[in-house]
Amino acid sequence: MKGAVELGIMQFSLIYLLLIIVLIIMKKSKVNQTRLLLVASLRMSVQLVIVGYILQYVFKNPNPLFTIIFLILMIAFSIHRVLESRKGLNNKFKIAIGASLTFSGLFILIFFVTVVVNKSIFNPQYTIPLAGMIIGNAMTGVNIAIKTFMDDLSHEKSKINTLLNLGVEPKDILKPFANNALETALIPTLNSMLGMGIIFLPGMMTGQMLSGTLPTTAIMYQIAIMIAICTSVCLTVFLSLNLGYKSLYNSRKQFL
């Protein structure tokens, strides 16, 4: 099988014409996010071009140090993205989120690369792309979960106070909120798994087939990465919430 057709600059530039459709629809629907769309598109393009050149160099000059630095940057940025949007959290909750993202992401990544693929964790060709998918999805999942959890607590404040006055343990009050947030965070990943193969072909599988990989091999990789992603999201969210919500009350069972 032949690899993917190499795109020239002119060919590639044509894809930006599709944004005109988005702009027209946004204007017609009175969605005032034109600037955000343009900034997001430009930022995405610049970031990916820079990363592309960096990865090209790293793949040609494999060095464990490069892989470690890349992983540290990925984890640090993912933690920053989550905490940046949830500034009202206390420090213990933030530490729980950071530790959960780091542990879950690295644990599942190391298992996938060393056990499933049977490659060195310092092999950038496998570790960096897989880390991006595993850690990136875990970041999105925990972001959704924390938002859901905190929003629910805010909306049910009077109910929580009533239960506290009735002598219900804070842990028993908060646990259902954590469970609901976990369920909400898992829904996008589970829906993707349900529709995969019938409704759409996922990006990793499509990319591998475009590069000349046999469809059967691409399918096995896609199934493996989706299970890894699902586990990463579930484990990260579970640990973040169950470690984090304990920081919301003290030893006297008072909410902070």
Residue 73 has pLDDT above 70, yes or no: yes
pLDDT at 179: 92
pLDDT digits (tens, 9 = 90+) for 137-159: 999 999 999 999 999 888 888 88
pLDDT digits (tens, 9 = 90+) for 40-59: 899 988 988 888 888 888 88
Q: Is the pLDDT of residue 212 over 90?
A: no
Q: What per-residue confidence (pLDDT) applies to 142?
A: 94
User: What secondary structure, in 3-state letters, does the chain show?
Assistant: CCCCCCCCHHHHHHHHHHHHHHHHHHHHCCCCCHHHHHHHHHHHHHHHHHHHHHHHHHHHCCCHHHHHHHHHHHHHHHHHHHHHCCCCCCHHHHHHHHHHHHHHHHHHHHHHHHHHCCCCCCCHHHHHHHHHHHHHHHHHHHHHHHHHHHHHHHHCHHHHHHHHHCCCCHHHHHHHHHHHHHHHHHHHHHHHHHHECCCECCHHHHHHHHCCCCHHHHHHHHHHHHHHHHHHHHHHHHHHHHHHHHHHECCCCCEC
In tens, the pLDDT along 237-256 reads 999 999 988 887 776 666 65
Q: For the chain, give every domain's residue range.
A: 1-61, 63-248
The lowest-confidence range among 72-76, 186-190, 194-198, 209-213 is: 209-213
Structure tokens at 14: 């044509």
Higher pLDDT, residue 124 or 4: 124
> Looking at the predicted structure, is the pLDDT value of residue 2 above 80?
no
- Rounded Cα–Cα distance for residues 120 and 45 (Å): 30
pLDDT, the chain, mean: 85
Alpha-carbon distance values, 234 to 112, 117, 210 (Å) = 16, 22, 31
What does the pLDDT average to over 7-12? 77
- What is the rounded average pLDDT of the residues 104-124? 92
Report d(CA 149, CA 170) in Å as an integer. Answer: 15
Going by pLDDT thresholds of 50, 70 and 90, the confidence category of residue 76 is: very high
209 pLDDT band, cuts 50/70/90, is: low
Asked if residues 177 and 149 have their Cβ atoms less than 8 Å apart, the reply is: yes
pTM for this model (two decimals): 0.83
Q: What pLDDT is stored for residue 90 in this prediction?
A: 87
